[in-house]
Amino acid sequence: MTVRLTLYATAGRATRNTVLGDGPLDPGDIGGAVLPPYEAVIRGPSTRCAQAAAALGLEAESVPEPALRDLDHGTWRGRTIGDIADADPYGLSAWFTDPDATPPGGESVRQLCRRTLPWLRGLPSAPRSGAPDAHTLVIAEPAVVRALLVNAMSVPATAFWHLDVPALSAVSLTSRDDGWVWDVESRGAPVVRSRRPVDTSGSRVGI
């Protein structure tokens, strides 16, 4: 079966006023979202993902997936990026540049990428002759979308923060025998189209 995933990030680019961790959805982020055809809806377990599903009219049919939980921000949870920049500028800078750096008591970017990889690998990836496409809509936090892209694209974890994932941008992944093909769209306008094989042997991929 060919698997098609359309990933929607719940929030946009981080600013000094961005609060790390779970929180309410910004109503301005949900406007203009266009849903593709889908057969199933999976969402991250956060409040923001649940609110996004509800705003899109998908609350009743969406299934929370624990493996797609947001990056653990540790003691930074609930604080703004600006506050952390003032209190711990070196720690914040390291977190944005070193994939092995962690918020105090939290999770690194590399750990997030490794944690989400088994979920992506566990999806059927070998097309069967005559089998219909299984198109799944995934509503997730931006960090989770970035991690899935790092894994699908087989790029180093250092690319994580360089992947621009606007709020409710559509990132489509389609499985092939030799990996994933992806289309990245922002509010319906394609900005990236490429292809790269992904290792399904169980060895580390790009992280």
**Residue 69: pLDDT above 90?**
yes
**Residue 132: pLDDT above 80?**
no
**Mean pLDDT in residue range 50-72:** 90
- Token pair of 17 as six digits: 């006023």
Give the pLDDT band (50/70/90) at residue 78: very high
Higher pLDDT, 29 or 174: 174
Report pLDDT for 101. 97
Cβ burial of 183 (10 Å; 0-12, 13-18, 19+) is: middle
Q: In whole angstroms, what is the distance from residue 138 CA to residue 50 CA? A: 12
Report pLDDT for 131. 43
Cβ neighbors of 189 (< 8 A, separation 6 or more) are: none
Percentage of the chain exceeding pLDDT 70: 78
Q: In whole angstroms, what is the distance from residue 73 CA to residue 119 CA? A: 21
> Residue 153 is inside which H or E element, if any?
helix 142-153
Give the pLDDT band (50/70/90) at residue 23: confident
Cβ-contact 71, 106 below 8 angstroms: yes
pLDDT in tens, 163-203: 888 777 778 888 877 678 877 655 443 333 333 333 333 32
**Residue 119: pLDDT above 50?**
yes
Cβ-contact 157, 109 below 8 angstroms: yes
Q: Mind giving me the DSSP string for 88-157?
A: -HHHHHHHHH-TT---TTS--HHHHHHHHHHHHHTS--S--TTPPPEEEEEEE-HHHHHHHHHHHHT--G
**Mean pLDDT in residue range 66-90:** 96
Tell me, yes or no, if the pTM score tops 0.95. no
- Token pair of 54 as six digits: 């509800």
Give the chain's mean pLDDT: 80
- Token pair of 65 as six digits: 């997936």
β partners of residue 6: 137, 172
